Structures are given as structure tokens and as C-alpha cells.
Amino acid sequence: MAEITAALVKDLRERTGAGMMDCKRALTESGGDMEAAIDWLRKKGLSAAAKKSGRIAAEGLVGVASAPGRAAMVEVNAETDFVARNETFQQFVRSVAQIALEVGDDLGAIGGAPYPGSGRTVAEELTHLVATIGENMNIRRAKRFEVAQGVVATYVHNAVKPGLGKIGVLVAVAGASELDALETLGRQVGMHVAAARPDVLDIADVDPAALEREKSVLAEQARASGKPEAIIAKMVEGRIRKYYEEVVLLEQVWVHDGENRVRAVVKKSGAELAGFARFALGEGIDRPAGADFAAEVAAAAGLTP
């Protein structure tokens, strides 16, 4: 059993919004397993969270680059927002996105690629940048899409500079329609993805283990109401449809009109969505818990700080 520390309680509290003592009890009941503790809180009706939201953010920038039929996106992290506003750092992110467009989204390939005008590799240039600016930095992730016929549209929400921002989206749109029409559709889908945060493209892409976990949680919630098993099965079926509407892009309600499904909008256009990716800066990155907060939690809950 993992030690139930103040930092662990803080993490669960931030993920679920549940009370501190409820979080402590959930972790105790779950042997310190974070995901099991989230499920425990949900089954008890103490958490409204359906999935991880990645609230804890790191600094840096998401950058995108595109060319006919392809586009790439990268996330480069730094320690402070001050560095993210630095023109040298911004140029590095632009260059890395362009390199990912050429070599693909494997981080090893990106790191080993020549960095323009420096005589260094990307990895060596990053080391040089860290030494120059004085902050730790890393290229966290990258994604590239390419289509044989169609476009890969890009969208950056609240861009700080062209192609640079805190949230970036790639949308691969395949089809024989005019490229301008496909680009417009792709950008609209990108705006939708930025706002609605789907996890997967289609129902078939939902992780079976995640689906079974969701069904288990929903069934426990339904049983708590005292309904017969036959009714519970129907309740779970209905709630799973709602679950798909939350996590599956094609099943979501189109944010631009609030009525149609994304699937219907795409079908009407005569195109096909081949894939998408959404990078929100720092999502899922934990920062060390502040000593003061940990001490406060420990004092209130009788935990090891």
C-alpha cells in the first residue's frame, strides 16, 4: 500500500474537486491507487470529474507548422511564462515545429535533426538554449499528420504569435473537395476540438478498458438508487451514450450551432476526418507541491507532509 501523503491528497483534490477528508478516505480505501480513488469518489457521489482534466500546467508554447497535405505540432516546455515570451525561445519552437513537419513526430528523430544555421542538432541547440537563458526546457511531445488527398488544418487558440500559443490542434481532413473548403472545415473542427476536448475520433477508438471502467462506475451509481438490475442495465446503456458524446469527436454536438453532431456536419461536407490531435500546454504535468500547502494539509488531516 502506497503511503497516503499530503501531496497525494492534494493531487486527488485538484483532479476531482472533492473535500480533503473525502480524498484522504478514498486513497485509504483504495490502497493509495489514484485512479481507484477517483472511481471510489465518483461511486460515492463525491466527485463530478469524469476524466482527468490536466489542470496543473507547465509553461512554454505549443507550435504548429504546415505544408500542402501535412502539418505538425510540438509542445516545448520551459519553467516560466517569462521565457515563453522570449523571442529566442519562440523562434526555437517555430523551428522545432518546422523540423517535425519534415522528419516526423518521433522525438529522437527531431532531437537528432540539424538545427538551422547553428551547426548543432536540435538536442544540442536545446542544451545551448538552456545554458543561455538559464531555465530547464524540454521538447515534450510532437504529432504530425499527412493525407494523400485533402488537407491537414491547424488551429491555435489565442495565439501569442502566428503558429504559437497555449492550445494547438491538428485536423486531418481527407476528401476530393476543393482544398479551400476542406481547409475551412478543418479549421472549424479544430476550433471545436479546442473547446470540446474530445479524446478519440470514433466510438471504435474508445479504449475497451476505459469503457469497462466507466460502465462499472455508472452501474455502482445506479445501484445506489436501489433500482432493479434490469433497470440498471438500461440506465447504464443510456449513460454510456452520454459518455460517448463527451469523449468521441464524431458523436459530440457541433459547437458552432449547438444542434448537429460533428458526424453529420462532416458527412454533409462530403469529406472524412482522418485524425486529430489536441495539445494543451502543460496538461498532465505535475509541479512539486508547495511546502506551505503540504504543511497545511498535513496539519488538518494528520498526514505525513
Average pLDDT over all residues of the chain = 86
Looking at the structure, tell me whether residues 15 and 75 fall in a common domain. Answer: no
CATH code where residue 176 lies: 3.30.479.20
Q: How far apart are CA 203 and CA 7, in angstroms?
A: 36
Say what the pLDDT of residue 56 is: 34
Residue 65 · residue 76 · CB < 8 Å: no
Q: Does residue 29 form part of some domain?
A: yes
Say what the pLDDT of residue 197 is: 95
Residue 125 makes CB contacts below 8 A (sequence gap 6+) with: 92, 115, 118
Looking at the structure, tell me whether residues 19 and 116 fall in a common domain. Answer: no
Task: Show the cell assigned to 149.
Answer: 488527398
Checking if the pLDDT of 152 tops 80, the result is: yes
Please write the tens of the pLDDT for every residue from 160-177: 999 999 999 999 999 988
Q: Does residue 145 form part of some domain?
A: yes
Checking if the pLDDT of 19 tops 60, the result is: yes
- Provide the CA 75 distance to its chain's centre, in angstroms: 12
**Bridge partners, residue 143, by sequence:** 73
Residue 50 makes CB contacts below 8 A (sequence gap 6+) with: 243, 246
3-state secondary structure of 2: coil
Say what the pLDDT of residue 130 is: 83
Assign 3-class secondary structure to 168-212.
EEEEEEECCCCHHHHHHHHHHHHHHHHHHCCCECCHHHCCHHHHH
Checking if the pLDDT of 50 tops 70, the result is: no
When pLDDT is cut at 50, 70 and 90, the band that residue 222 belongs to is confident
Looking at the structure, tell me whether residues 157 and 26 fall in a common domain. Answer: no
CA distances from 202 to 87, 112, 170, 272 (A): 39, 34, 16, 12
- Cβ atoms < 10 Å from Cβ of 117: 8
Tell me how many degrees the CA angle 230-236-238 measures, rounded to the nearest 5. Answer: 110
CA distances from 165 to 67, 178, 218, 257 (A): 19, 28, 37, 26
3-state secondary structure of 77: strand
Checking if the pLDDT of 188 tops 80, the result is: yes
When pLDDT is cut at 50, 70 and 90, the band that residue 35 belongs to is confident
Q: For residues 265-281, give the mean pLDDT.
A: 95
Say what the pLDDT of residue 1 is: 63
Q: Does residue 241 form part of some domain?
A: no
State how many domains the chain has: 2
Q: Does residue 156 form part of some domain?
A: yes
Looking at the structure, tell me whether residues 76 and 196 fall in a common domain. Answer: yes
Looking at the structure, tell me whether residues 151 and 112 fall in a common domain. Answer: yes
Looking at the structure, tell me whether residues 183 and 273 fall in a common domain. Answer: yes
Looking at the structure, tell me whether residues 9 and 118 fall in a common domain. Answer: no
Say what the pLDDT of residue 112 is: 95
Say what the pLDDT of residue 305 is: 45
Looking at the structure, tell me whether residues 17 and 97 fall in a common domain. Answer: no
Residue 305's Cβ-count burial label (10 Å; 0-12, 13-18, 19+) is middle
Q: Does residue 219 form part of some domain?
A: no
CATH code where residue 25 lies: 1.10.8.10
Looking at the structure, tell me whether residues 132 and 34 fall in a common domain. Answer: no
Q: Does residue 240 form part of some domain?
A: no
Please write the tens of the pLDDT for every residue from 95-124: 999 999 999 999 999 999 999 998 999 999
Q: Does residue 213 form part of some domain?
A: no
When pLDDT is cut at 50, 70 and 90, the band that residue 49 belongs to is very low
178-206 exposure pattern, b = at least 16 Cβ within 10 A, e = fewer: eeeebbbbbbbbbbbbbebbbebbeeeeb
- Provide the CA 111 distance to its chain's centre, in angstroms: 23
Q: Does residue 87 form part of some domain?
A: yes
Domain range for 100 is 59-200+263-280
Looking at the structure, tell me whether residues 184 and 118 fall in a common domain. Answer: yes
- Per the model's pLDDT, the better-predicted residue between 71 and 242 turns out to be 71
CA distances from 105 to 97, 154, 208 (A): 9, 16, 26
Looking at the structure, tell me whether residues 140 and 2 fall in a common domain. Answer: no
Looking at the structure, tell me whether residues 126 and 140 fall in a common domain. Answer: yes
